[in-house]
Amino acid sequence: MPATRRLAELRHPQVAELLSERSIVVLPLGAVEQHGPHLPFVTDLLIAEAVATETVRRFGDTFDLWLAEPLAYTKSNEHARFAGSVWVDPQTLLATVDAVARAVATTGAGTLVFLNGHGGNTALLQVALREVRLAHGLRTFLLHPAVPPDAGGVSDAGEAGMGVHGGLHETSLVLHLRPDLVDLGLARRNVPERLAANRHVRFGGSVPFGWLADDFGPDGHIGDPTGASAELGGELFDAAIVRLGEQLAEIATFDFGRS
């Protein structure tokens, strides 16, 4: 049993000793972007890193998991009009992910998992799965602490399924992880009610659409954080770890079925 499962904490000789084709490298991706008046810029990065760290701690020995250092600055230009948000363009993110994957392939690990905490990265990372597979031979998978509502995940019924950014769940998770960074006194409901009746053109509907955070008002969040609590955040966090453990169990035994 290794003393650490954080890849960057190993010494060079240990890489060849400890990693093998069975090893799974987990790369957290977050974002540094506005999350309304009540949450910090670091929300997505905080959640992704905390979930990845706990997942590797709990299941690392079972599935031979290795934690890579997180990517903080990612594809966040939907928040470009809010000062303090930091983003890279799509080409830069894809190139960065490719460079990390190229390095991971030299370790002898056979699998790279993206654990993504920012919905704005999801579509690009789905592209990266195949690009990395083709270029570097790694098995590649995309996981989330929770699938973003605008990518088919769920949010609270009180948010009409559209709590996509700084809403009930994200606010509760940050209250659980870092309550000192949250000001619930500034939390306001901001749900695009006019989209709720749409069957297709809505968050989570069958027709994706391009949007910017300020399309839905000056506060920049989309959802209803007013009922958030640390207790709910703890429940969501624990459920995410359990779900990720189940997903990693299937990843660890995944086979393309080639004869």
Tokens found for residue 193? 């009610």
What pLDDT is stored for residue 149 in this prediction?
78
Q: Which range has the worst mean pLDDT, 36-50, 88-102, 193-207? A: 193-207
Domain ranges of the chain: 7-252
What pLDDT is stored for residue 167 in this prediction?
96
What pLDDT is stored for residue 254 in this prediction?
96
Q: Is the pLDDT assigned to residue 73 strictly greater than 60?
A: yes
213-230 pLDDT, tens digit each: 999 999 999 999 999 999
Q: Is the pLDDT assigned to residue 258 strictly greater than 70?
A: no
What pLDDT is stored for residue 28 in this prediction?
98
- C-beta separation of 160 from 127 below 8 A: no
174-192 pLDDT, tens digit each: 999 999 999 999 999 999 9
Kindly state the percentage of the chain with pLDDT values over 90: 87
What is the rounded (10 degree) CA torsion for 114, 116, 119, 121? -40
Q: What is the mean pLDDT of the chain?
A: 95
Q: How far is CA 246 from CA 110, 236, 254, in A?
A: 19, 15, 13
Kindly state the percentage of the chain with pLDDT values over 70: 99
What pLDDT is stored for residue 147 in this prediction?
80
Tokens found for residue 227? 């009922």
Q: Is the pLDDT assigned to residue 57 strictly greater than 90?
A: yes
What pLDDT is stored for residue 53 in this prediction?
98
DSSP-derived letter for residue 65 is E
84-137 pLDDT, tens digit each: 999 999 999 999 999 999 999 999 999 999 999 999 999 999 999 999 999 999
pLDDT band at 156 (very low <50, low <70, confident <90, very high): confident
Domain at 7-252, CATH class? alpha beta
Q: Is the pLDDT assigned to residue 239 strictly greater than 70?
A: yes
